[in-house]
Amino acid sequence: MLDIFLSKAQMIQALNATGKAVPTRTTLPILECFLLEARNGRISLMANDMEMAIKTQLSGTIIEEGKIALDSKIFTDIIRKMPEDEIHIKVDSSLNVNISAGVSVQNMPGKNGEDFIGMPTLDKGTPIVISQMSLKSIIEKTIFSTAPNDNNKMMTGELFEIKNNVLRVVAVDGYRIAIRYCVLNEYYEDKSVIVPGKSLNDISRIISGDMDKNVEIYLGKNHILFSFEDTTLVSRLIDGEYFRIDQMISENYETKLSLNRKDFLAAIDRSMTFVRESDKKPVVLDIKDQGIVLSLNSNIGSMTERIEAVKEGSDLMIGFNPRFLIDALKAIEDETVNLYLTNSRAPGFLRDEEGTYIYLILPVNFVTR
């Protein structure tokens, strides 16, 4: 039925990766399982929650090929607690699973692997190739601008748009926009898809972020596939037309500020001392030729701080959600950031002159004292 030897360390790594596709709640009990399979000389572990499926290849010794579905929680607990690195897994014709390592022998019931729902298939075509480091960085520097709930499904995902040799990734939550651009090594056919934020979060945690290791991305009609090292992740896409982002991005501005990123971030972070989780108190920038004064007033305290900056254009007073500014500034690595402003009611833009990122943040109404 199934008889294999493999490494505990390798299995734990596979459990950590594929476990992200095990559903927390489901009406299909088989999906609460991992599928362990030995076929064509290869061992694999897979999970599928019907929105995302992850499959990881493992090395080991195959005595007899076969497949078995294993309760994810019980199997994970058994493997993690095994005393030795080499693990022997044997399944008999009654689907009884014997797992042994060293002096420990444990048994658990399995389920018919034929009942497990396999990975979705898609017409792969030509893959988009990007380094693990670049993909991980792009996701981490945009994902915070996705919405956590599905009141608007589009806002829970990110736009992946290919034009020529440039990948543009966009996230919108209704209050801010995060955009990152990545120049690819090849030219590709123009295409755009909307990828669920959860899937992107999971893949950013699985990939190592190694600059010398690549990810192959296949864009299908209903699914996106990420292939890297010994792991394949397939995610269902969000159906629909994405927001018209280009109409929201303006090149016009009345005021431009050039600030030291770390100093600006530290000042806003200090203002957060007086902001509770439920508060919507804005941090206010009073911009004049003499300098910029950052201030925040709340029921539990207040702060005022002068910030050094190079100003071009008109004087202006504008308020922002401090958390949104902090998220954007943490995603930027430049020593100096440029903040572009039009008026107190129009969005502010953080963007670089090289065109690698844009962070748009809507202003917040404020009352001056």
CB 36 within 8 A of CB 2: yes
Give the whole-angstrom CA distance, residue 258 versus residue 310.
5
| Cα angle, residue 284 at apex, residues 280 and 288 outer, rounded to 5° | 170
| Cα angle, residue 135 at apex, residues 132 and 140 outer, rounded to 5° | 120
Six-digit token pair at 327? 């998220």
Six-digit token pair at 98? 């014997």
Stretches in the chain below the pLDDT threshold 70 = 368-369
Q: What is the dihedral of CA 15, 20, 25, 27, to 10 degrees?
A: -80
CB 34 within 8 A of CB 46: yes
Say what the pLDDT of residue 368 is: 67
Question: Cα-flanking dihedrals φ and ψ of residue 274, to 5°?
Answer: -105, 20
Give the whole-angstrom CA distance, residue 345 versus residue 363.
6
Residue 101, strand partner residues? 104
Q: Topology of domain 249-361, per CATH? A: DNA Polymerase III; Chain A, domain 2 (3.10.150)
Residue reference for tokens 């440039």: 166
Domain spans of the chain, in order of start: 2-115, 128-246, 249-361
Q: What is the pLDDT of residues 230-270, one digit of tens each?
A: 999 999 999 999 999 998 888 899 999 999 999 999 999 99
Tell me whether the CATH fold assigned to 2-115 matches the one assigned to 128-246: yes
Question: Cα-flanking dihedrals φ and ψ of residue 151, to 5°?
Answer: -60, -35
Using alpha carbons, select from 227, 169, 236, 162 the residue that is nearest to residue 196. 236
pTM across the whole model: 0.93
Say what the pLDDT of residue 369 is: 57
Give the whole-angstrom CA distance, residue 137 versus residue 135.
5
Residue 225, strand partner residues? 218, 234
With respect to CATH, is domain 2-115 assigned 3.90.110.10? Answer: no
Say what the pLDDT of residue 290 is: 78
Six-digit token pair at 286? 């009073």
Six-digit token pair at 302? 């207040």
Domain 128-246 is of which CATH architecture? Roll (3.10)
Residues 6+ apart with CB under 8 A from 178: 141, 142, 144, 145, 170, 171, 172, 328, 331, 357, 358, 359
